[in-house]
A and B are shown apart, each in its own frame.
Chain A
């Protein structure tokens, strides 16, 4: 089942979104890389890399704002694991929502990306 990786500046924002997604897509693995280690706002590439290590299947990566995207893209370039992780430039909340429900329905990564593209293009 396709995993979701949410990269956000805010741990609270990401946790809130995860909670919201859990209502519609229980059982979908959602990994967070959000906020800095000291609890402040920001994105930390080490946390993104830790999320990459935690995925159990191919994964979709969604980010909240520009610098989260830059850190995520850089982490993707450095990633050498066994799963396919794809970044999708979609609205953080709505994009994650569509992706989580699609994953719950058993769609594969390519199918989910197509669904996101048709929803947000």
Chain B
């Protein structure tokens, strides 16, 4: 399996549109256990990303990821901007000057991104954050499991967790049974990549 720049950009475009469409749903989730701006922030950032991708005609996946990462850092705000932005900056260094990615290269990039998110947020799996989607996704990718099913399962697992990081941590066990907005938006972003693989 290889992924071309066109396939990568198409998947990213679909993920961006999914996040933009889910703006209100994400914000409602964030009102429950956060500061109620996740959908607004992510939709704003991914609107910029979507416009940026529309005019991209190059063939360098690393270059795309660097531009997307900087756009997310500058335009999303909140906690998600630096977190998702860092993921794309890690992609950019892993996939610099790559026009296509092998399965191994794709996996390595996602592993770097997970490590980047964990370092930026000083967090780990099991704390009810976006990592609870990113890490299972990457493990499924690495071991060639069904990525789409993995995301669905990961969301269920995350929903049942107590919150240990971010604003939701102030709610602690009261967050059990509520979905983490960052996990939800990560699922929307990553699901289109399941189709590519």
Contact = CB atoms under 8 A, between A and B. Distances in A.
Contacts, number: 42
B86 A43 contact: no
Contacts of A44: 77
A71 B86 CA distance: 11
Nearest to B169: A66
Contacts of A46: 74
Contacts of B17: none
B73 A45 contact: yes
A56 interface: no
A19 to B, nearest CB: 25
Contact of A45 (B74, B79, B83, B121): B74
A42 B78 CA distance: 6
Given A42-B77, A44-B77, A45-B73, A70 B37 contact: no
Contacts of A65: 167
A73 interface: yes
Contacts of B74: 45-46
Which interface class (under 10, 10 to 19, 20 to 34, 35 or more) fits B? 10 to 19
Interface residues of A, number: 14
Interface string A36-51: 1000011111100000
Contacts of A36: 77
A20 interface: no
Interface in A64-96: 65-67, 70-71, 73-74
23 contacts: A36-B77, A41-B35, A41-B37, A42-B77, A45-B82, A65-B167, A66-B79, A66-B166, A67-B79, A67-B81, A67-B82, A67-B166, A70-B79, A70-B82, A70-B120, A70-B121, A71-B82, A73-B82, A73-B120, A74-B73, A74-B82, A74-B85, A74-B86
Interface of B: 35, 37, 41, 73-74, 77-79, 81-83, 85-86, 120-121, 165-167
